[in-house]
A and B are shown apart, each in its own frame.
Chain A
């Protein structure tokens, strides 16, 4: 009973979030994204070099993970 209620609440939450998201207007229009689409704004401008750089540091450090971003946001991911 409790589990079913939780599931319904989850579905309701997801639906509410969808509706809320749908009502948010983009505050940067596609025609305003010229600067964001410039390669100098890319988080991974040269994948072959950045992969090597992560490897070079990663092999000599104890930390790992969360290297590189998702990209995107300007229709250029």
Chain B
């Protein structure tokens, strides 16, 4: 029925108009932040909606140095890189053991790791904080790295186990041939084979660690990660929107760049994460 097809096409064209408006709203924050970051505070107060006529980089300089975003940025980089590497290492060895090796209580141990998904940070806020203090990890970057690993780990272990389980049987049998060389099998076989899954997990965990604020507020109180610093900047400079906007641009830039380059991995990975995690 060509008539019906034509009608459907027209309906889809009409639907695409509100959908395009919605899409514009999704990129609006980027425009808002960049545009206002380039204005002087006076220009912003005079006209909140206009484009930046006389763009200035002064806000970026001030946010970066005088508002200490440079320190917070380094904290975030160190903590994110550390936590992501630790997450990849731990989830890859656990996934190897759970998917390829035979041992008693395998299913039980897998279930314990997955069950901790039911325990988000809010559910253990008080005792978790006390545990961190008791282990002398409070206000240390290594403490935050370990905390991130503990909270983002179960999904990564699940992904690696599922990925390794999907590999051909012969590879897994080969891994079992000689007990003494399991660590070499992991290093020479499993780690290179796991690359696609490890890349996806690396990107996703980078997003989670970089964007976190609650765990960071608890563990790293004195030094501040970038997101905690931004939240504080929001509170301190309520009247200086251009300065805040410059901070937002600097804080979001790494994630926006990551999204532009790895959009495919992020989109497929987060869909799986939402389904399983």
A, B bound = no
- A interface residues (Cβ-Cβ under 8 A, vs B): none
* Residues in B lying within 8 Å of A, measured CB to CB: none
